[in-house]
Structure 1
Amino acid sequence: MQNLSETQLRELARKRVEFRRHLVVFCVINATLWLLWWMTGQGYPWPIWPLAGWGIGLVFHYIFDFSSPKLFSEEEEYDRLRHMKEEKHVAQ
C-alpha cells in the first residue's frame, strides 16, 4: 500500500468492509436456500444455481476490492507510459 493518501485508505477500507458484508449475506442466504431444499424433499438441487451465479459475482467483488489498486489506477498507467516513452528516447 505504497503512497496511498488518507482518502484512498478510507475508500479501500470501505470497499473491503462492504465485501465482508456481501460475503456474510451470501453465506446466510445460500445456507437458507440449501436448508429449504433439504426440508422440501431434496429433489433436484436447484440451490446450486443461485450459489454459482452469486458466487461468480462475489469472486469479482473480491478481485476488485482486494487486488492491487494499481491495476485500475490512471496515475499508475500514466507513469508506466511515461517511463516507456523515456526509455525510447534514451535508446535512440
Structure 2
Amino acid sequence: MSDDQLRDRALHSLKAKRGFYSLLITWVVLSALFTVIWLLTGGPSSGGFWPVWPIAGIGIAVVFSAVSAFGGGSGTPSEAQIQSEMDRLKGS
C-alpha cells in the first residue's frame, strides 16, 4: 500500500473517531436533558420513563458510529495524528 493510500485511510479513521466522540458527548448531554425534563414534568408519578425511547434511539446511532470508527468530530486531524495512524496501519 502506498503512503498516499495509507494517509487517506489514516485521515478517514481519525475523522471517524472524532465523529464518534462528538456523537457520544451529544448523546450523554441529551440523555441528561431528557431525564431532567422528565423529572421536572412529574417524574415517576407521570407514568413510564419516556426518555428511554430517545435515549435508546440515539444510543443505536452511537453504537453504529463506534463500530464504524473502531471496527475498521469534526475538524482536521493534526499532521502528527495522521502520521501516527499511518504508522499504526503499516504495522497491521
Range class of TM-score, shorter chain: 0.5 to 0.7
Shift of 1:53: 1.3
Consecutive aligned runs of 4 or more in structure 1 exceeding 3 Å deviation: none
SS at match of 1:46: coil
> Greater RCO between the two (CA within 8 Å, min separation 6)?
2
Higher Cα Rg, which structure:
1
What's the Cα RMSD here?
Answer: 1.5
Matches of 1:15 and 1:56, distance apart in 2: 16
Per-residue CA deviation, residues 47-89 of structure 1 (Å, 9 max, x unaligned), is 000111111121111111111x2xxxxxxxxxxxxxxxxxxxx
Identity %: 27
Aligned residue in 1 for 2:26: 25
Provide the TM-score with structure 2 as the length reference: 0.66
Shift of 1:41: 0.7
Query: What are the ranges of 5 or more consecutive residues in structure 1 without an aligned counterpart?
Result: 70-92
Query: What are the ranges of 5 or more consecutive residues in structure 2 without an aligned counterpart?
Result: 73-92
Aligned length: 66
Task: Decide whether the 8 Å contact of 2:16 with 2:68 is kept in 1.
Answer: no
Per-residue CA deviation, residues 26-64 of structure 1 (Å, 9 max, x unaligned), is 110111000010111112210000111111121111111
Matches of 2:12 and 2:66, distance apart in 1: 15
The reply on whether 1:62 has 2:66 as its aligned counterpart is yes
Provide the TM-score with structure 1 as the length reference: 0.66
